[in-house]
Amino acid sequence: MSREVHVQFCERAGVRFPCATHLQVIEMDIVSKPYVLDFAGARLDVPPQFTEEQWADWEQDRKEKFESRWQKVLEVLDALQEFGIYMTDASPGNIGFP
pTM of the model as a whole:
0.72
- In this predicted structure, the answer to whether residue 92 has a pLDDT above a threshold of 90 is yes
Contacts for 44-53 with beta carbons within 8 Å, 24 or more apart? 44/2, 44/4, 44/5, 44/8, 44/9, 44/84, 44/85, 44/86, 45/84, 46/86, 47/81, 47/86, 48/86, 48/88
pLDDT tens-digit map of 31-79: 888 888 877 788 888 899 999 999 999 999 999 999 999 999 999 999 8
Cβ(7)–Cβ(20) below 8 Å: yes
Query: Could you give the CA distance from residue 98 to residue 84 in angstroms, rounded to a whole number?
Result: 26
Tell me the torsion sign for CA atoms 90, 38, 54, 65.
negative
Output the pLDDT for position 36. Answer: 86
Query: Whose CA is closest to 39, among 13, 73, 5?
Result: 5
Cβ(66)–Cβ(77) below 8 Å: no
